[in-house]
Amino acid sequence: MPFPKMPPIAGVQMATARAGFYKHERDDLLVMTFPEGASCAGVFTRHGVGSAPVDWCKRHLEMTKGEGVRALVVNAGCANSFTGRPGADAVRRVCSAAGKRFDCRQRDVMVASTGVIGVLLDDAKIVHRLPDAEHRLTGDGWANAARAIMTTDTFPKGAHAVADIDGVAVKISGICKGSGMIAPDMATMLAFVVTDAAISPAALQNLVSLYTRNTFNAVTVDGDRSTNDTLLLFATGQSGAPKISRAGDRRLADFRDKLEHVLMDLAQQLVRDGEGASKFIKVTVTGAESHASARKIARTVCESPLVKTAFAGEDANWGRIVMAVGRADEPVDRDSMSVRFGDLWAAQDGLVSPTYSEAKMSAYMKQPELEVTVDVGMGRGSASIWTCDLTKRYVEINGDYRS
């Protein structure tokens, strides 16, 4: 996908550098700085192992209540997860060095890492490159920033929108990375979104928590959650718009819509870049007992290897979808269930549809973007999850990941 045009956001500067976590020549370090008075909020993985960078951000955001964040340091190539006390010490040294470099406290520095799990972060590589990054800071570096945080991604991911707050135009821009190990629960998934709006940390946290549910938490590539999933939202307050202290403030109506749009755009790009993917698929479940039930059923369908390989083979094998629906362990009415591919009925009222056409189904399955709708006949709950197919290339990429 082409990288969008993303203008500078007032108050934020960024730079990339090569720290050397990869053998080949590429930037693998991103540094972003923010002005005094900036707000920050975050949503993180609930993975049982977690990582040292996630621990640091969660602890210090809780300590500062999201006020006073001045810098962000991100590295690709080493996740610094499952590295114990040495990993935590490495993060502390990075934040201490960044704090001295950018004239702030170490607790005012956020960090994120992505890459191989179980490898201790060589913090000296990052600290050594901070002076170079400081001298290269610019407000117009979104594309380079998105490239620097990539691992197995095949393209840099960005999204931008302009919203209105009380008659003042405010910008929202974000980047993310992720291609495999994607099934966020708040995939290795990192996302950083910045706005020049003036929004209190508490309101910012409410917004990012609310809109993560139907964006980043509604996509899956392979069902594997990362130890490092991190979504950070920063507000620089440099737009001139009035400061908003409540997420429900009516002046934020347009901003809320645009923020959700940016998050959804980024989340769907993760799926489009799923490792080895050739299909982008939306699965919608209707007629469920509740919204939560519909989400669970839809996710079970999306994460079934049999369903995903059928999509890869362009086979409208709706029996595999029914199988996945049934093993979600949610209430369904077998005799009322229906399955539709786009506008084509595969099954109705628990039986093969009388209008089923193998030729039309086969033609539909050749499209790069597909939609499947399943009605389970129990109630009014509905939900959509976005996913991709599972191809031989996925096995090749992950089989060769460390070699």
Q: Is the dihedral of CA 107, 113, 205, 265 positive or negative?
A: positive
pTM of the model: 0.87
Q: Could you tell me which of 154, 166, 275, 257 has the C-alpha nearest to residue 215?
A: 257
- With beta carbons less than 8 A apart as the criterion, state whether 29 and 126 touch: yes
Question: pLDDT at residue 123 above 50?
Answer: yes
Percentage of the chain modeled with pLDDT above 70: 93
Secondary structure letter of residue 67 according to DSSP: B
- With beta carbons less than 8 A apart as the criterion, state whether 54 and 230 touch: yes
Secondary structure of residue 344 in the 3-state scheme: strand
CA–CA distance, 327 with 265 (Å, rounded to integer): 30
The region, left, alpha or beta by phi > 0 then psi within -120 to 50, assigned to residue 57 is alpha
| Residue 394 confidence (pLDDT) | 76
Q: For all residues of the chain together, what is the average pLDDT?
A: 92
CB count within 10 Å of CB 402 equals 7
Q: Order of strands, edge to edge, in the sheet holding 109-116? A: 13-17, 29-33, 71-78, 109-116
48 pLDDT band, cuts 50/70/90, is: low
Mean pLDDT of 53-73: 95
More confident position, 403 or 58? 58
| Residue 21 confidence (pLDDT) | 95
Q: Could you read off the pLDDT of 132-186 as tens digits, one per residue? A: 999 999 999 999 999 999 988 889 999 999 999 999 999 999 999 986 544 444 3
Mean pLDDT of 300-315: 93
Mean pLDDT of 41-62: 87
- With beta carbons less than 8 A apart as the criterion, state whether 221 and 177 touch: no
| Residue 183 confidence (pLDDT) | 45
CB count within 10 Å of CB 367 equals 13
CA 129, distance to chain mean position in Å, is 27
Question: pLDDT at residue 403 above 70?
Answer: no
Q: Could you tell me which of 172, 170, 168 has the C-alpha nearest to residue 160?
A: 172
Supply 194's token pair.
């910045």
User: Which one is catalytic: 151, 188, 284, 373?
Assistant: 188
CA–CA distance, 19 with 301 (Å, rounded to integer): 40
Q: Could you read off the pLDDT of 320-376 as tens digits, one per residue? A: 999 999 999 999 999 999 999 999 999 999 999 999 999 999 999 999 999 999 999
Q: Which residues of 229-239 are buried (b: 16+ CB within 10 A; e: fewer)?
A: bbbbbbbbbbb
Q: Could you read off the pLDDT of 207-250 as tens digits, one per residue? A: 999 999 889 888 886 555 556 789 999 999 999 999 999 999 99
Question: pLDDT at residue 47 above 70?
Answer: no
β-bridge pairing 230-235 and 29-33: unpaired
Q: Is the dihedral of CA 353, 355, 361, 364 positive or negative?
A: negative
Amino acid identity, position 250? R
Question: pLDDT at residue 188 above 70?
Answer: no
Q: Could you read off the pLDDT of 377-386 as tens digits, one per residue? A: 999 999 999 9
| Residue 43 confidence (pLDDT) | 92
Residue 188 a catalytic site member: yes
Question: pLDDT at residue 20 above 80?
Answer: yes
Place of tokens 């290269």: 136
Q: Could you tell me which of 263, 174, 268, 182 has the C-alpha nearest to residue 227?
A: 182
| Residue 235 confidence (pLDDT) | 98
| Residue 256 confidence (pLDDT) | 98
Place of tokens 């809109």: 211
